[in-house]
Amino acid sequence: MSVKRILSKNDVRLKINMKEILGRELPNSDEIRDAIAQKAIDMIIERTQSGKDVRGKPFKEYSKEYMGSDRFKAFGKSSKVDLTLTGDMLGLLDVVGESKNTFELGWTDDTENKKAYNHNVGDTLPRREFFNLQKKEVEELRRFAERLIDGASKDK
């Protein structure tokens, strides 16, 4: 499976297998692996902050109660649902594990991990599933990786 999601209360991770996506091994380059991982993170954040879930559908609206809260106003929020209050959950999404051809995205911070779990399963909050890659995003990641690898091999 090229992208596998782990979704439990204390462990929310996305395992991305680039060998499966590319059909070949990644070159032995931390730089290339870092760049691809960052691209995957950026895609998830951009899509989420544009207000869309993993299926490309708009997120469920914020409740009136939440929008009327002091915290909501203190962080200058609007009614646009982008899962960004302090920005910490999306801002701290990072690579939490890697091997030659795979990397894992997730959170090292326990609170942010729990927030992500809650949003994705709808535990104590309305469900707003953001943590995964769409098919077209996997394809975009593949093209990005190919360009990087081709560019790197031309530099040699």
Partner 1 sequence: MAQVKINRSAYDLLNVKVSAKTLIVLGDFWKQRIYSFTKSGKSLATNAKLKPLSKSYVSQRAKYKGPFGALFGIKKSNLTRTGQMLDSLKNTQNISAQTVTIKLSGSRDDGVTNEQVAKWVAEQGRPFLGLDEKGRQRMIQIVLRDLRRQLKKRPR
Residue 145, SS3?
helix
Q: Which residue has the tokens 């060998």?
A: 19
**Crossing angle of the two packed helices 135-155 and 30-49, in degrees rounded to 10:** 150
**Contact call for residues 106 and 112 (beta carbons, < 8 A):** no
Q: Pick from 27, 56, 58, 91: which binds partner 1 (CB under 8 A)? A: 91
Question: In this chain, which stretch among 3-11, 30-38, 114-122, 129-137 interacts with partner 1, using CB under 8 A?
Answer: 30-38
Q: Which residue has the tokens 């999601």?
A: 5
CB 75 to partner 1: min, Å: 5
Q: Pick from 88, 104, 129, 140: which binds partner 1 (CB under 8 A)? A: 88
CB 37 to partner 1: min, Å: 11
Q: What does the block give as tokens for 9? A: 């209360």
- Tell me how many degrees the CA angle 113-115-119 measures, rounded to the nearest 5: 120
x/- map, 33-62, partner 1, by CB under 8 A: -xx--x------------------------
CB 90 to partner 1: min, Å: 10
Instruction: Please name every residue paired with 103 in a beta bridge, in sequence order, or none if there are none.
Output: 16, 98
Residue 71 in the binding site for partner 1 (CB under 8 A) = yes
Provide the binding-site residues for partner 1, judged by CB under 8 A: 31, 34-35, 38, 70-71, 73-76, 86-88, 91-92, 94, 109, 112, 155
